[in-house]
Amino acid sequence: MNPTTESLSFPIGRAQLPEGALNPAERTALIQQIADLPAQLTAVAKAIGGTGLERPYRPGGWNGRQVIHHLADSHMNCYFRFRLALTEDNPTVRPYDEQAWAELPDVAATPITVSLTLLEPLHTRWVTLLHHMSAEQWQRTFYHPGTKRDFTLDQALAMYAWHGQHHLGHLKLLLE
């Protein structure tokens, strides 16, 4: 069976954002996904191997190295977005050109171990923050000018838990 472009682009399906507030059990499960991601990425990257990470996960897609460095870039941005939303009223966050960032020379020149190592303490710090947020804080928002909408921190949590698994799914395609 030939995989479709949709299944290669979205190996775990498209993100589903919650309409309302998440309950504590839903938040706990999503936070655990964020906590587990660095170890999962490291294990999959090791299984793929160095030359395997130079292959794209689909025609026209990023290679494994770009995916790993993208996750570090993206999750650093999200951590800061959480902090901004917790300390300012509906701040406007700064979007960035993910494709252009993936093509910067440091992506090809930096070993993936740097981004994998960076993700461990970043996620530790992020998860600590997430575990200490009140029910009211989860409803704080930020505005994303790229999508022209507000996101609650509940929605951002769901999006970035999905985001990590989404790109982990891309890396797993390199094992096939």
Q: Which helix (H) or strand (E) holds 113?
A: helix 112-131
Identify residue 40 by its one-letter amino acid code. Answer: Q
pLDDT of residue 3: 65
Confidence of residue 2 (pLDDT cuts 50, 70, 90): low
pLDDT score recorded for residue 1: 40
Amino acid code (one letter) for 87: T
Is 4 within a domain?
no
- Establish if 8 belongs to a structural domain: no
> In the predicted model, is pLDDT for residue 143 greater than 90?
yes
In a domain, 15, yes or no: no
Share the mean pLDDT of the chain. Answer: 95
Answer whether 137's CB lies under 8 Å from 10's CB: no
Joined tokens for residue 141: 């928002």
Q: How many domains does the chain have?
A: 1
% of the chain beyond a pLDDT of 90: 92
Q: What is the pLDDT of residues 36-78, one digit of tens each?
A: 999 999 999 999 998 999 999 999 999 999 999 999 999 999 9
List the CATH number of the domain containing 102.
1.20.120.450
Task: Examine residue 159 and state whether it is found in any structural domain, yes or no.
Answer: yes
pTM of the model: 0.94
Domain interval for residue 87: 23-173
The count of other CB atoms within 10 Å of the CB of residue 22 is 19
Closest CA to 44 of 66, 68, 61: 68
Domain assignment present for residue 127? The answer is yes
